[in-house]
Structure 1
Amino acid sequence: MDLLVTTAGQRPDLVPLLEDFNGWPAFMRQDPVAPLYYRDPVTAYPEFVLIGIDRDRPDRLVAKGYSVPFTWEGDPAESLPAGGWDQVILTAALDRREGRRGTMVSALEISIRADLKGRGLSSIMLAAMRRNAADQGYADLVAPVRPNAKHRHPQMSIVDYANLRRDDGLPVDPWLRVHIRAGGQITGTSARAMTIAGSLADWRDWTGLPFDTTGPIEVPGALVPVHCDTVHDHAVYCEPCVWVHHRLP
């Protein structure tokens, strides 16, 4: 595949392709913080939205990547926001309002077309995101990584999962391995990178599950159980992440 990776700023004609696919579970699209970024990232951050197409099929989106500059006063090699993905978006929105450039760039999402997964495209997109952040003059790219096999181990803590290693020393999780092979370093975890709350009716609609028992509910695609409270008619999901730091050339 002859892959072209460009930004929305460089190729605004390709922007309509960004809606070509969405692979997230329905409940993952209910985070109330997300619209601060995703309502219109192309207008707000055109140079940080990546679009990947096959040059031989330029009418079809192959991959996309979203990132954002934000301010973090700490050393990203030592610590990163406890609020994870949500805190990055909130901080970036405040930065934009106050006219601040941000001190580093955070990845928010890299998505690959479902029928093209397993071909190494995520590595190409991550390399493009690293290169793009460097081209914008930043020395650091960080990522609140959503480990893509953690949902198979919902009862395991994010700390224990992040520490799982293969015989070669690389993480067991495939997406974490991509980051490490690209030069990233794991700097910690967040237990509350994203918080999604709703009524039991909401959760039934989002998942198709009954949500009729108080306690932890395992939801397909969720990294940890959702906490259900039938007495008070609500359920809350706190998604964890693994923070990865990329020092850029």
Structure 2
Amino acid sequence: MANQHTYTFKTLSEIDVFRGKNLNAQVDAFSIWPDYILADTINQQYWERLYSEFPEYQFFLINGEKVVGNGNCVPLHLSKEENAYLPDGGWDWALEKAFLDREKGIEPNALCALQIGLNKEYQGKGISSQLIVCMKNIALSKNFKSFILPIRPNQKSQFPLIPMESYIKWTNEIGLPYDAWIRTHVKNGAEIVRVCERSMYVSGSIREWELWTNLCFQSSGNYILPFLLNPIQVDLTVQNGIYIEPNVWMRYLL
């Protein structure tokens, strides 16, 4: 699929193995995720398997040999109940469910987006909206009934003490969502469904958190860290720190 900027859309299954590895290396180079997010339990268990087991749902927007942006999606089956009330597990739930459904031989009927990545050289050029269109097209090509996303509001980290339920109601001067990433999806036709309070879960020893952050934790309590949407909860009595991230379920009508 070519677009007006002459970028090319390719899923990983349409790219030869060698070139696919080269494109993945480029994507890794502009990843923004800190170690303490990548330590999410479900991410550690399943993420690398996406590329071998669901290649047709991992895609790139390419300019020549350069990656402009990329996206990661999974197919899953939503029951009527799940579709009506998307689960609180959010991102973790969707990633794990895709693999469990596959293992059980359950036919998928929905697409769930997990991540969009953008090359810094191409920011401010409307690429995010083009990547959303790419994902819509994947869902439509599979005749799926639903396209859902547990999104991570990208400005919420500036307000880690504000509950997500309150934050998603914030608006800008013209009445659109205050958060830029929520606003992008709303402008592209998505609706806010609900907050998923336990979308990502990271548990680590105090030593692990110190290695991940280059900080020291010598008192129990809540700590605010860069990039995180909520404080982490440190308990020295058990030498452990826990981070529970809320995301926001959004849905596109197909």
Does structure 1 residue 85 correspond to structure 2 residue 91? yes
The 3-state SS of whatever aligns with 1:82 is coil
Which residue number in structure 2 is paired with residue 191 of structure 1?
A: 197
Q: TM-score, normalised on structure 2?
A: 0.91
The 3-state SS of whatever aligns with 1:148 is coil
Which residue number in structure 2 is paired with residue 46 of structure 1?
A: 55
Which shifted more, 37-46 or 153-162?
37-46
Q: TM-score, normalised on structure 1?
A: 0.93
Does structure 1 residue 2 correspond to structure 2 residue 6? yes
CA apart distance, 1:173: 0.7
Letter in 2 for 1:24: W
Letter in 2 for 1:23: I
Distance in 2 (alpha carbons) for counterparts of 1:213 and 1:122:
41
Counterpart of 1:174 (choices 180, 184, 206) is 180
Which residue number in structure 1 is paired with residue 138 of structure 2?
A: 132
Q: What is the RMSD of the two structures over their aligned residues, measured on CA atoms?
A: 1.5
Cα pair distance change 1:77/1:185, threshold 3 Å: farther
Letter in 1 for 2:202: I
Q: CA offsets per residue over residues 72-91 of structure 1, 9 Å max, x none?
A: 21367742111110011121
Distance in 2 (alpha carbons) for counterparts of 1:74 and 1:187:
15
> Does the CA-based 8 Å contact 2:38-2:44 persist in structure 1?
no
Which shifted more, 77-86 or 155-164?
77-86
Distance in 1 (alpha carbons) for counterparts of 2:125 and 2:82:
30
Which shifted more, 110-119 or 152-161?
110-119
Distance in 1 (alpha carbons) for counterparts of 2:142 and 2:239:
47
Does structure 1 residue 12 correspond to structure 2 residue 21? no
Counterpart of 1:231 (choices 203, 212, 237) is 237
The 3-state SS of whatever aligns with 2:41 is coil
Structure 2 unaligned spans of 5+: none
Distance in 2 (alpha carbons) for counterparts of 1:35 and 1:12:
26
Cα pair distance change 1:220/1:83, threshold 3 Å: same
Which residue number in structure 1 is paired with residue 223 of structure 2?
A: 217
* Structure 1 residue ranges (4+ consecutive) displaced by more than 3 angstroms after TM superposition: 74-78
Cα pair distance change 1:85/1:97, threshold 3 Å: same
- Higher helix fraction (1 or 2): 2
